Structure 1
Amino acid sequence: MTAKSAVTNTITGSFKAKIEKQPDFVATRFTVFKDVEHFHFYGTEGDPHPLKNYRGIYIIVKKDVSGFKLTQFGYLDKGENHKFYEAEDGTFTFNFDETKRCYKMSFHVVAQYVIEKVDILGSFDLEVS
């Protein structure tokens, strides 16, 4: 039998958004991780069981020689027949301090699910310790 180790981090801060025609989004759980090329940021509110009380925003950012660039933005709307909105473009302001593991971002996107669009204005300020 091989022993495996796990690293558990504490994430503190805020992850909020104003979503057109919907209640304000205030995440109660956060996930931040980095792979070889990307930073992944997830904020969720509500309980995923049942899905009717659950909403989530995830943002994937690529770091390259020219700086940071959005690669994916998604918003999962609550409801039994949940909708997944995606945005390919928007306005994003990054302030990442990898040494201190502090990540700040503001964003403004128009995300789309089939033909339905919603305007999303939000930000997060997260610290991983």
Structure 2
Amino acid sequence: MIICLEFSHYDVKSSNTISAKDFALSMVASADINHINKLLDRVDNLGNDPDLGVRITFEEFKSFADLRRRLEPLAMAIFNYGKVNGLLTKQDLKRAAHHVCGVDLTDRVVNIIFHVFDTNHDGNLSSEEFVRALQR
């Protein structure tokens, strides 16, 4: 299973958890090359936020991977769950992932997603940017 291999790549101490930074790196690894530097800067800033100094379990990692595999229905749902202007709140993302994809995202995972992809720090995700980053 490729998910297990990718997780174990980051879990060098075999602790069954990975750092928030490693999780964020795995998210942006396949992002649009035109935005990669900006996203990597956001990943580097993870250490500056004490609330994001968390460890991610394999189950959380796998949930996000499952969400990525169901990106097409998620993208359609995002536009239904998001605000009219195409912006998603944390609750919108959790609701869409659960109801459409059957994936439960923990608050830790959602906080990291928002830290990396909420580039203007307004508490919302641009649904278009988020989906585009995950599609690659």
TM-score (norm 2): 0.24
Higher relative contact order (CA 8 A, sep 6+): 2
More helix by share: 2
More strand by share: 1
TM-score (norm 1): 0.25
